[in-house]
Chain A
Amino acid sequence: MKPASFDYVSASSIDQAVSVLSELGDEAKVIAGGQSLVAMMNFRLARPATLVDINRVPGLDVIDVGADSVAVGALVRHRRLELGGEVPGPLGDLLAEAGHHVGHLPIRTRGTFCGSIAHADPASEWCVLAALLDARMEATSTRGTRLIPAEEFFVTVFTTALEPDEILTAVHLPLLSENHHVGFAEFSRRAGDFAIVMAMTAIEVADGRITDARVALGGVAAQPTRSSAAEAVLVGRAPGAETFADAASAAAENVTPHGDVHGPAEYRVDLVRAMVRRSLTRALGEG
């Protein structure tokens, strides 16, 4: 469990980092927190010829709060989002709540938000959050910067729309108004494990009716996914146990997960039902 040999470049600027990537293409890998990459290198499942370390690149450890969105830079650690205080409103609450469930404390202290999204595990809290909020991923290369919507970004397990010469320099998330209620629920075998199934919800309530609903699921497909079926059930109805149960059933009826070592496909379907209902219930502050 020692990595195969590799070259190491510590980039001092984003220009330097992308020029190395431009030169080496998929022979090079970007390292920030290294919480997934280093383990994969130790298992020799990943054998990058060159590591481009961006930890010393100035300006990437920034949480940039704008009028209606926030940009989370490539060196922002999970722990910072978990501790909160920087991102206002319900989005900040959701980042803190979901952030608490990312791995264990040492992982959260070193690993990065953007690194988790670039790694694209479909059961990752941050990938599900990106899907939930239609996040836009800021990809930078020598060719310039482009924004990739979440829907296009997550291609399949561990695979994104990033080109080999691009760095995920920031993720842009929309701020949520105070009318939004956010909820999160996941089930994993042990605390800190990747979830077997995860649900994240954001619902906007006005005059006792749900006016906007977002429901995202992790662990049920090759990408984090939105449940349009659940969202359709929610919009226009009054929030409450019956509404949430109906939405949870709609979510469960519209997933086609695979069975694995943790249990048969039907188990995940039932977990979707439970996690969606629980996340909606928690969104409304009832448990």
Chain B
Amino acid sequence: MVIGQRVKRLEDYPLLTGRGGFAADQSRTGQLHARFVRSQVAHGRISGIETDQARARPGVVAVLTAADLPPSFPKIAPRQVGFDEMVPYLQSVLACDRVRYVGEPIAVVIATDAYEAEDAAEDVFVHIEELTVVVDPRVEPSAWDDLGHDTEVMLINEAYGEVDEAFSTAECVVELELSVGRHSGVPMETRGTLAWTDPMTGTLHVGGAAKVPHYNRNALASMLGLDRDRVQLHEIHVGGGFGIRGELYPEDVVVAWAALRLGRPVKWIEDRQEHLIAANHSRDQVHVIKAAVGLDGVIHAIDDEFWQDQGAYVRTHGATVPTLTATLLPGPYRVPAYRVRGHIRLTNKTPAGTYRAPGRYEGSFVRERLVDVIAERLDLDPAEVRRRNLIGHEEMPYLRPMSVLGSKIEYDSGQYVRMLDRVLDHVDYPTLRADVAQRRADGEHVGFGFGFFVEKSGLGPYEGVRASVDPDGALRIVTGAASVGQGVETTIAQIASEVLGIDYASIRVSHGQTDELPYGFGAFASRVTVMTGSATHLAATEIREKALEIAAQMLEASPEDLELVDGRISVRGTPARSLTLGQVAADLDPSGARRHGTTPSLSAESWFHTDHMTYPYGLHFAVVHLDPETGHVAFERYVIAYDVGRAINPTLIEGQIVGGLAQGLGGALYEQFVYDDLAQPQATSFIDYLMPTLMEMPEVEVLLSEDAPSPLNPLGVKGAGEGGTTGAGAAIAGAISDALGSAEIIHSIPVAPATIWATLNDA
């Protein structure tokens, strides 16, 4: 058995020995370096761009602006959850007449080295007539352009059940205003692109991004007017993805276009200051939510209205984040009636997209805060209120009559109550509650909080692999899916190893190369293990069957009498009569295949299709202690329970969970893109954008379970990439609020120490 084993990562050797190849490590002979000139004002009309002085500087090859782009150059379209009404709000790759956020690309300087390019970029003078800015997404929508479009891109409406009736007859109504701050994935590796054309074929090659290479290839080809096979994307190592890195951005398109136009390789490596104002922001929602509740704590209806601060444009994620927020907000609870209105509003800030646990981090914070307040108002235990509302195991699969990302929401499996009990047992909840109560009576500020959530994973519609055994016995697997460093190669190798009995460490897995497999969806939505893993299982099974069939002919035995162990096929009871998979593969060259009456090569290409997502689920439980003099939050315990159906490699999953928590904790306590009243960004370096470090991380107790395998795929797996993040804002905010003396104190994250100090000192 290799599935379920804590085997070492195949990816680590090059990374740990300094042999990794990241975007900045790539170079091509004769390459040029790009530096973007970005808007320094948040909203204005461009009245002129002076480039002469920059062009005259040593080493400068070109200074390009929107005026140099081909006429009617396309804007970057949504990759998912796009709607027609978004078209007016898409971003030009270089600003034409208006700029709408600080950091918007206006021009690009191309020079023979990166230093010269940056020097010259300072000599590009952009004249901008400043216009009024919008900073608050909740103000009345105002004009966005001169064509009659306003700053509300669209209103998301979802509802089911008898909401109004539930509120009119409710024994108790709880209403709250809650908000999640603006933060995002900030990978250690900033963005970077190297584009070059092969002089022999004219093919444009682009390397540097990881995540959705096939989609980006198609989009780039379309925007640049090239045939798809004339554009190839190459995924290399990546220093973190988290949803934001690897999307198609204006800079990627400009760099590719510049490489074609200039006939030389062009390299762009984003610096950290650019990253914090130019790569996708995320989160940033305000919710006004109310619940109709019985005195027993049972929720009869939820009615929510929220505002998503989308920033200045709609980018590749379209309405993904607000749609996920709207439809997954009810989470693990029954909620028989539900209504939500989500306003996608534009402001003069960096455009927003998805970030690890998009919509679920926000929605879980809102829902779990609501449940805590319900419990307090009804004088009920917060764990008990959750128990009374959790969807039961016997109700699975559970249909939530809405759909998201093109699939209806049907929780495939789950044992939510069992998970709650597991966590309560693990922390000895009655004792813990009594201890907390006693310590509070003694004057300490200590409290606990829950973040129960349902994740989603395994987004379709398909993913495929091509697997083949070489005559020397080596198994090679090519997938169109991508890797953002999460351990795809190891996981896929373990699944294939399980079926074929080949040492997982000998299996080579290739991903994210558009010239190796024409179709691929990529690495997002915790989908790769589910989708590529399932396709791998299908392909390996097909190879196994073919190998046994051919071996039966070669060994003159019946296929039923054969067994495949450690990559060797033998006749049961007669181990001397055996063949390796390599020997079978060698006998399947075209001549051998003809003799065997089959197709050449010991290989299979398999596609796994699905119309439904799988729904993993989890529970964060935090115990915090507050320092009343400083407002410092100290974690006494942090427990994360997570059910992935079936754990291919528990160590990798635990890594995902703990790493995910670092990001969820960052959003709860530290990270925030602050803007001033003129929409000037205030957090443009790591001095002001506070990333949590190892020193800020609690010791995490991970309770990984396999209670609820998914019925939707042959392995029973669910995705593991996001649950470490999802419940963190909810649990941490809940614990702080509890420690401050009431569930009703913390209404927004991140929670700054000064806020805690002010609460405890009535300041």
Residues of A within 8 A of B (CB): 1-5, 43-44, 104, 187, 189-193, 261-264, 266-267, 270-271, 273-274
Given A1-B271, A189-B753, A190-B692, 17 other A-B residues pairs in contact with their CB atoms under 8 A? A2-B118, A3-B115, A4-B119, A5-B115, A43-B273, A190-B670, A191-B695, A192-B695, A261-B674, A261-B682, A262-B753, A263-B752, A263-B758, A264-B763, A267-B631, A267-B758, A274-B629
Which residue of chain A has the shortest Cβ distance to B630 in the bound complex?
A187
CA distance A225 to B682 in the complex (A): 28
**Is there an interface contact between A2 and B115, defined as CB atoms closer than 8 Å?**
yes
Query: How near does chain A come to B32, taking the closest CB pair, in angstroms?
Result: 15
A190–B631 CA distance with the chains assembled, in angstroms: 13
Does B45 make an interface contact (CB < 8 A)?
Answer: no
Whether B757 pairs with A190 at a CB distance below 8 angstroms is no
Q: Do B690 and A189 have beta carbons less than 8 Å apart?
A: yes
Residues of A within 8 A of B688 (CB): 261
Shortest CB-to-CB span from B668 to chain A, Å, is 13
* Chain B min CB distance to A226 (Å): 22
> Interface range on chain B: under 10, 10 to 19, 20 to 34, or 35 or more?
20 to 34
Q: Is B114 an interface residue (CB 8 A)?
A: yes
Q: Is the Cβ of B693 less than 8 Å from the Cβ of A191?
A: yes
**With an 8 A cutoff between CB atoms, is B696 at the interface?**
yes
Across-interface contacts of B754 in A (CB, < 8 A): 262-264, 267
Q: How far is the CA of A190 from the CA of B682 in the complex (A)?
A: 18
Are the C-beta atoms of A263 and B693 separated by less than 8 Å? no
User: Interface residues, chain B, CB within 8 Å of chain A?
Assistant: 114-115, 118-119, 122, 271-273, 629-632, 670, 674, 682, 685, 688, 690, 692-693, 695-696, 752-754, 757-758, 761, 763
Decide if B753 touches A263 in the complex (CB within 8 Å).
yes
From B115, B670, B763, A189 is in contact (CB under 8 Å) with B670
The secondary structure that dominates the A interface is loop
A43 with B685: CB separation less than 8 A? yes
Q: Give Cα A187 to B122, complex, Å.
A: 38
Chain A residue at minimum C-beta to C-beta distance from B761 = A270
Judge whether A1 and B272 touch: CB under 8 Å.
yes
Least distance between A40 CB and chain B CB atoms (Å): 11
Query: Complex formed: what's the CA distance from A189 to B692 in Å?
Result: 10
How far, in angstroms, from A143 to B271 measured CA to CA in the complex? 42
The smallest C-beta distance from A2 to any residue of chain B, in angstroms, reads 5
A158 CB to nearest chain B CB (Å): 14
Q: Chain A residues near B674 (CB, 8 Å)?
A: 261
Pick the residue among B122, B273, B630, B758 that contacts A271 (CB under 8 A). B630
In the bound complex, residues from chain A placing their C-beta under 8 Å from that of B690 are: 189-190, 193
Closest chain-A Cβ to B19's Cβ sits at a distance in Å of 22
The verdict on A190 contacting B693 (CB below 8 Å), with A2-B114, A273-B629 known, is yes
Do A271 and B692 touch across chains, with their CB atoms under 8 A apart? no
Which A residues are in CB contact (< 8 Å) with B695? 190-192
Q: Give bound CA distance, A42 to B249, whole Å.
A: 25
Q: Are A5 and B119 in contact (CB under 8 A)?
A: yes
**Residues of chain B lying within 8 A (CB to CB) of residue A190:** 670, 690, 692-693, 695-696
Cα distance A263–B752 when bound, in Å? 8
Contacts of A263 in B (CB 8 A): 752-754, 757-758
Most buried by A among B119, B754, B761: B754
Complex: how many Å from CA A263 to CA B273? 24
A1 touches B273 (CB 8 A): yes
Knowing A2-B114, A264-B763, the reply to whether A187 touches B632 (Cβ < 8 A) is yes
Known pairs A1-B271, A1-B272, A5-B115; A270 contacts B757 (CB<8 A): yes
Inter-chain contact A270/B119, CB cutoff 8 Å: no
**How many Å lie between the Cα of A82 and that of B181 in the bound state?**
38
In angstroms, how far is the closest chain B Cβ from the Cβ of A86?
A: 27
Residue numbers in B under 8 Å from A4 (CB-CB): 119
B683 to chain A, nearest CB (A): 9
A261 to B750, CA, bound (A): 13
Inter-chain CA distance A263–B759, complex, in Å, is: 13
Q: List residues of chain A with CB within 8 A of the CB of B682.
A: 261
| Bound complex: CA A270 to CA B674 (Å) | 25
The one of A262, A266, A273 in contact with B763, judged by C-beta atoms closer than 8 angstroms, is A266
**Bound state CA distance, A271 and B115, in angstroms?**
43
How many angstroms from the CA of A287 to the CA of B115 in the assembled complex?
51
CA distance A264 to B115 in the complex (A): 41
B758 / chain A contacts, CB cutoff of 8 Å: 263-264, 267
- Residues of chain A contacted by B273 (CB below 8 angstroms): 1, 43
Nearest-CB residue, chain A, relative to B755: A263
Contact A267 B763 (CB under 8 A): yes
Cα-based distance from A189 to B272 in the complex (angstroms): 21
Q: What B residues does A266 contact at CB under 8 A?
A: 763
CB distance from A189 to the nearest CB of B (A): 6
In angstroms, Cα B443 to Cα A224, docked, is 34
| Minimum C-beta distance from A249 to chain B (A) | 13
**Closest beta carbon of chain B to A241's beta carbon, Å:** 15
Q: In the assembled complex, which residues on chain A have CB atoms less than 8 Å from the CB atom of B629?
A: 270-271, 273-274
A273 to B763 CA separation, bound complex (whole angstroms): 15
Task: Point out the residues of chain B lying under 8 angstroms from A193, CB to CB.
Answer: 690
